[in-house]
Structure 1
Amino acid sequence: MSERNYRPCAGVMLANRQGRVFAAQRIDSKDIGAWQMPQGGIDPGEEIQAAALRELAEETGVTADLVDIIAAMPHPVRYDLPEELHGKLWGGKYRGQEQHWFLARFKGEDADIDINAHDPPEFCEWKWVDPEDLPGLIVSFKRDVYRAVVREFRELI
């Protein structure tokens, strides 16, 4: 397993004016209550911030004009997939993800959020949560990543 690389990924911690952050429940993991922030793979040749904004728009309907990028993590963070998911995700090509995170201030209104913007949608429900609550909502193998993102951006939210 160690010879496999990490999938390059970009994500956005979307914060509203009240200091809460966007979290959405994944459709494919509804039975276990897997929530996450908008994130996804970086296409070959795509700039990291552009990938983050593309994923944000695809997964939430929130376009780049509705956000201000406040900060970027100075380094990517990684997670490894649990043993039971090896070979099931991304064609078995990756051992986990290397994620680049951005903090964005949401300038729009809740009505601007459309989790059905992409076909098929990735999420079935969304909500604003306190940043400290994020790690408890995420699947266990991503918790350390979410703790690091919250630590990095908390003072700026």
Structure 2
Amino acid sequence: MLDREGFRPNVGIVLLNARNQVFWGKRLRTHSWQFPQGGIKYGETPEQAMFRELHEEVGLRPEHVKVLARTRDWLRYEVPDHYIRRDARGHYKGQKQIWFLLKLLGRDSDMNLRATDHPEFDAWRWNDYWVPLDMVIEFKRDVYQMALTELARFLPRANPHNRYLRAGMRSHQRHEEPSETSSLPPPANPGSRA
């Protein structure tokens, strides 16, 4: 299902663990790593497609995650011709995606890359939030930059209970310690990414 401009509706998934690291999957039998993503089927909403893809690619169910945010608009990338099947060239240009930010409520052991008969990934790992920008294939980089930047403001604070306690303790101390900073640095130079 393509739109009039040749873009396939698709969802992208940024899955966080408790340390605000992101799930990073290795595509089956390749050396290519990416976020989970997949097409929106006819009649599906983006959220329905996201939950279906989450189960198909990562083995997680809705009760394993909490939806924190989604991108406001479609983010598009074009696929270079040499990655497009010959019979689709001229019609298919690339993907238009709605991206979702999810927090894992379950455990790592809840993930199952073999949840379906057609797995997408054969390995996975946790990465710091911005690392995928340097690792993703070039033609997806701009969309990853836009999605991660838009969704970054919805990142949960790490250990908010502990920060609250420490903040309360500081007010009773004579010499305050330097405040903590986020463990997630912004991209080195967001405007310079190709």
1:11 aligned partner: 12
Whose relative contact order is higher, 1 or 2, with alpha carbons under 8 Å and at least 6 apart?
1
2:52 aligned partner: 54
Instruction: State the identity as a percent.
Output: 36
Task: Indicate yes or no: 2:4 matched with 1:26.
Answer: no
SS at match of 2:153: helix
Report the TM-score, using the length of structure 2 for normalisation.
0.73
SS at match of 1:94: coil
Kindly name which structure, 1 or 2, has the bigger radius of gyration based on alpha carbons.
2
Question: What is the Cα deviation at residue 88 of structure 1?
Answer: 4.8
How far apart are the structure 2 equivalents of 1:114 and 1:47?
A: 24
Sort the Cα spacing of 1:107 and 1:72 in 2 relative to 1 into closer, same or farther, 3 A. same
- Amino acid in the other structure paired with 1:58: E
How far apart are the structure 1 equivalents of 2:84 and 2:27?
A: 19
- 5 Å-filtered alignment, 1:27-46, equals 27-28=28-29, 30=30, 33-46=31-44
Question: What is the Cα deviation at residue 27 of structure 1?
Answer: 1.1
SS at match of 2:106: coil
Indicate if the aligned counterparts of 1:11 and 1:55 stay in contact, CA closer than 8 A.
no
Give structure 2 stretches of 5+ with no counterpart.
156-194
Which structure shows the higher helix fraction? 1
- 5 Å-filtered alignment, 1:97-116, equals 97-116=95-114
Question: What is the Cα deviation at residue 4 of structure 1?
Answer: 5.0
Per-residue CA deviations over 1:99-139 (Å, capped at 9, x if unaligned) read 11011111010000111112121101101111110122211
Indicate if the aligned counterparts of 1:25 and 1:126 stay in contact, CA closer than 8 A.
yes
- Amino acid in the other structure paired with 2:84: H
2:146 aligned partner: 148
Task: Indicate yes or no: 2:63 matched with 1:82.
Answer: no
Per-residue CA deviations over 1:71-114 (Å, capped at 9, x if unaligned) read 1100110000112123358x444210001101111101000011
Indicate if the aligned counterparts of 1:78 and 1:98 stay in contact, CA closer than 8 A.
yes
Question: What is the Cα deviation at residue 55 of structure 1?
Answer: 0.3
Question: What is the Cα deviation at residue 155 of structure 1?
Answer: 2.6
SS at match of 1:12: strand
Counterpart pick for 2:93 among 89, 95, 102: 95
What RMSD in Å do the two structures reach over aligned CA positions?
1.6
Which structure shows the higher strand fraction? 1
What is the aligned length? 151
Give structure 1 stretches of 5+ with no counterpart.
none
Range 55-64 or range 79-88, more displaced: 79-88
Find runs of 4+ consecutive structure 1 residues off by over 6 angstroms.
none
